[in-house]
């Protein structure tokens, strides 16, 4: 379970780096996507602490 979460976070992090490198996207859309990813990550951590 923990390993799956770590892999998911790694994929999301790689996607975030791709977003940051991509010049076509506006800064606002990049920032909002990062916020969504961040919120999702915190939710995952929260869930993983409750259900070990």
pLDDT digits (tens, 9 = 90+) for 24-45: 666 677 677 777 777 777 777 7
Going from N- to C-terminal start, the domains of the chain cover 26-52
**Res 7: pLDDT:** 83
The conformation of residue 25, written as its DSSP 8-state character, comes to S
**Res 19: pLDDT:** 65
CA distance 9 to 20: 16
Measure CA 25 to chain center.
17
Q: Specify the pTM.
A: 0.34
**Res 47: pLDDT:** 74
CA distance 3 to 41: 14
**Res 27: pLDDT:** 67
């Amino acid at each position: 379970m923990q390993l799956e979460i770590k892999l998911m976070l790694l994929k999301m992090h790689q996607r975030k780096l791709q977003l940051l490198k991509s010049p076509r996207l506006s800064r606002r859309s990049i920032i909002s996507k990062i916020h969504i990813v961040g919120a999702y990550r915190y939710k995952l951590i929260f869930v993983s602490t409750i259900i070990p």
